[in-house]
């Protein structure tokens, strides 16, 4: 093995060549390359068989033989392409290449018909890449940076382009998001220092925010659109006004790092950094969307077996009556149909009375969705799952917290605060992971009619 490890000079130039060729391939050619890779440079099945048999027959021959046989078996199970990935990782820019390669693999997987015979091989390739990247993208290699208006334009442009939760509308908007009363944190990686891998936007506020508009002030932005007029004088932060840190957006930017969790670490380090500056802050919370709530509601409504009427799952009798009074005066269409229609068009918000009537049932249904809908025992909603796993609790639902079209379409305008009680996160996290226990506040449980006795679901 001295020899193999050492042919580095010529291997390096060959590897570089391969990478530069791959980068110029078209989408379909890339797929062909990946297929070729898994079929010809994966695991040699017959060699594995041979080694497995050897191993089984070595059992009687003492520890040393057994370990040797295990070693051989392990070797035979290692796909050839892992050696190639090792060489690529050693190149400058190689790690980024592998991140992007995995993006291509994931895309190929999503395009493959599942019964294709090659699917398991591509899945194995995906797993190999994920395991490798997960070793490289561990917290020890990540660097926390605070991004401000003094950061590079290049970094700020990327921050802006990657912001998916609440899109940035102009450079004036962007300046506000990294300015006073805001903390924008990123993780960068030593192998691609100019790339923000995860981005966390934080607002420093007097209390836990109930609406995204209070943080991302759209009215204000219009003034800023005239980019090249001098922007207003910098506001100076007054520490006396800062009692809460509200995480209002967290984004992972690299599709190729799917499944490699870095957000948790970023939140932890952000909390540390905020505490170092403001030791007395005690309120840590998110202001999060509830993606999927409206779709879930539409689906549930459409499959309700009681037809035109609505089961008590959706509305109490009283609520039903009030809504019917309001909606059906001059209208033959059923309450259910009308709700379905208005949900689809987001028009219920225009009618203030209607909106008021919907508040209680929608908030209750959203609480149901977050608290009772499960996948493998854990919260179905991925945002809820992420924060519960980190040890947060579901603390409060906020009505009309995001009135943007995006907010209405994803969650009927409802947003949720996941609150981090620092001294409880470790135990919360453990109870959630081990026992699927969902920690929630009294006020939230109250929405579910569970307030006086602590949840024991």
User: Which one among 19, 81, 121, 397 touches a second copy, defined by CB under 8 A?
Assistant: 121
Residues 6 or more apart whose Cβ sits within 8 Å of residue 369: 290, 292, 293, 296, 297, 380, 381
Show which residues are catalytic: 288, 387
Q: Which of residues 386-415 bind a second copy (CB under 8 A)?
A: 389-391
Among the listed ranges 118-126, 211-219, 363-371, 408-416, the one in contact with a second copy (CB under 8 A) is 118-126
Write the DSSP assignment of 79-118 as a string of letters.
-THHHHHHHHHHSTTHHHHHHHHHHHHHHHHHHS-TTSTT
Query: How far is 241 from 181, CA to CA, in rounded Å?
Result: 9
CB of 231 or CB of 400, closer to a second copy = 231
- Our finding on whether 63 is near a second copy (CB under 8 A) is yes
| Selected range binding a second copy among 8-16, 301-309, 335-343, 403-411, rule: CB under 8 A | 8-16
Q: Which residue is listed with tokens 């007054």? A: 238
Short-list 249, 289, 286, CA closest to 412: 289
Please report whether residue 232 would count as binding a second copy according to CB under 8 A. no
- What string marks each residue from 294 to 333 as x (binds a second copy by CB under 8 A) or -? ----------------------------------------
- Cβ 67 to a second copy, closest distance in Å? 4
Under rule CB under 8 A, residue 196 binds a second copy: no
Task: Report if residue 24 touches a second copy, rule: CB under 8 A.
Answer: no
Q: Per-residue x/- marks for a second copy, 90-109, CB under 8 A?
A: xxxxxx--------------
Per-residue DSSP letter, 288: B
- Separation of CA 227 from chain center: 32
Do the bridges between strand 283-286 and strand 244-252 make them parallel or antiparallel, or are there none, so unpaired? parallel
Task: Give the Cα separation of 280 and 273 in Å (integer).
Answer: 13
- Rounded to the nearest angstrom, the gap between the alpha carbon of residue 14 and the centroid of all alpha carbons in its chain is 37
Stretch that binds a second copy, among 59-67, 296-304, 349-357, 437-445 (CB under 8 A): 59-67
Q: Quick one: 77 or 308, whose CB is closer to a second copy?
A: 77
Q: Which is nearer to a second copy, 188 or 398 (CB)?
A: 188
Interaction of residue 281 with a second copy, rule CB under 8 A: no
Binder among 71, 207, 295, 325 for a second copy (CB under 8 A): 71
**Does 68 participate in binding a second copy (rule CB under 8 A)?**
yes
Q: Which segment (19-27, 84-92, 304-312, 350-358) binds a second copy by CB under 8 A?
A: 84-92
Structure tokens at 254: 């690299």
Q: Which residues in the 416-435 window bind a second copy by CB under 8 A?
A: 425-426, 429-430, 433-434
Which of 62, 309 has the CB closer to a second copy? 62
Q: Which of 376, 449, 453, 456 binds a second copy (CB under 8 A)?
A: 376
Q: Any idea what the Cα angle at residue 49 is, between residues 47 and 50, rounded to 5°?
A: 65
Stretch that binds a second copy, among 284-292, 303-311, 385-393, 397-405 (CB under 8 A): 385-393
Say if residues 235 and 180 touch (Cβ distance below 8 Å): yes
Closest approach of Cβ 107 to a second copy, in Å?
A: 18
Q: Give how far Cα 379 sits from Cα of 24, 177, 213, 369, 436, Å.
A: 42, 31, 27, 9, 8
User: Phi and psi (nearest 5°) for 167?
Assistant: -50, 140
Least distance (Å) from a second copy to the CB of residue 27? 17
Could you say which residues in the range 135-194 bind a second copy, by CB under 8 A?
135-136, 138-141, 143, 149-154, 156-157, 160-161, 167-171, 175, 190-191, 194
55 binds a second copy (CB under 8 A): yes
Measured at the alpha carbon of residue 155, what is the angle toward residues 150 and 158, in degrees to the nearest 5? 140
Tokens 């068989």 identify what position? 49
Cβ closest to a second copy, residue 270 vs residue 366: 270
Which burial class, exposed, middle or buried, applies to 366 when counting CB atoms under 10 A from its CB (0-12, 13-18, 19+)? buried
The whole-angstrom distance between residue 232's C-alpha and the CA centroid of its chain comes to 34
Select the residue interacting with a second copy from 86, 232, 333, 347 (CB under 8 A): 86
């Amino acid at each position: 093995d001295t020899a193999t490890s050492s042919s580095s000079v010529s291997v390096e130039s060959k590897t570089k060549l391969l990478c530069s060729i791959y980068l110029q391939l078209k989408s379909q050619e890339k797929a062909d390359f990946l297929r070729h890779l898994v079929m010809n440079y994966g695991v040699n099945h017959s060699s594995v068989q041979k080694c497995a048999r050897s191993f089984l027959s070595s059992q009687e021959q003492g520890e040393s033989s057994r370990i040797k046989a295990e070693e051989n078996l392990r070797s035979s199970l290692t796909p050839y392409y892992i050696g190639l990935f090792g060489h690529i990782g050693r190149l400058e820019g190689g790690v980024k290449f592998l991140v992007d390669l995995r993006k291509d693999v994931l895309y190929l997987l999503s395009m493959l018909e599942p019964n294709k015979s090659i699917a398991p091989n591509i899945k194995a390739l995906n797993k190999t890449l994920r395991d490798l990247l997960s070793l490289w993208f561990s917290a020890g290699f990540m660097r926390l940076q605070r991004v401000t208006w003094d950061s590079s334009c290049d970094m700020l442009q990327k921050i802006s382009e990657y912001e998916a939760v609440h899109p940035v509308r102009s450079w004036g908007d962007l300046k506000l998001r990294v300015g006073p009363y805001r903390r924008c944190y990123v993780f960068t990686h030593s192998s691609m220092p100019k790339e923000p891998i995860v981005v966390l936007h934080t607002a420093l506020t007097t209390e836990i925010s109930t609406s995204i508009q209070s943080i991302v002030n759209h009215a204000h932005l219009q003034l800023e659109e005239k980019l090249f007029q001098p922007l207003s004088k910098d506001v100076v932060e007054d520490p006396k006004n800062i009692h809460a840190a509200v995480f209002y957006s967290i984004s992972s930017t690299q599709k190729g790092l799917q499944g490699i969790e870095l957000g948790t670490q970023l939140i932890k380090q952000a909390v540390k950094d905020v505490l170092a500056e403001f030791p007395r802050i005690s309120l840590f919370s998110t202001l999060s969307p509830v993606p999927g709530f409206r779709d879930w509601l539409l689906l549930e409504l459409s499959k309700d077996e009681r037809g035109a009427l609505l089961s008590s799952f959706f509305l109490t009798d009283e609520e039903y009556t009030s809504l019917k009074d309001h909606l059906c005066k001059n209208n033959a269409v059923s309450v259910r149909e009308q709700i379905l229609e208005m949900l689809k068009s987001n028009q219920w918000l225009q009618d203030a009375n209607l909106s008021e009537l919907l508040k209680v049932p929608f908030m209750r249904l959203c609480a149901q969705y977050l608290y009772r809908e499960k996948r493998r025992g854990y919260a179905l909603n991925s945002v809820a799952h992420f924060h519960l796993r980190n040890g947060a609790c579901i603390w409060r639902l906020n009505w009309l917290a995001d009135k943007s079209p995006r907010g209405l379409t994803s969650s009927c305008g409802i947003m949720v605060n996941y609150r981090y009680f620092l001294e409880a996160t470790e135990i919360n996290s453990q109870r959630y992971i081990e026992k699927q226990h969902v920690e929630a506040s009294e006020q939230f449980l109250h929405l579910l009619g569970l307030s006086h006795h602590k949840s024991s679901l």
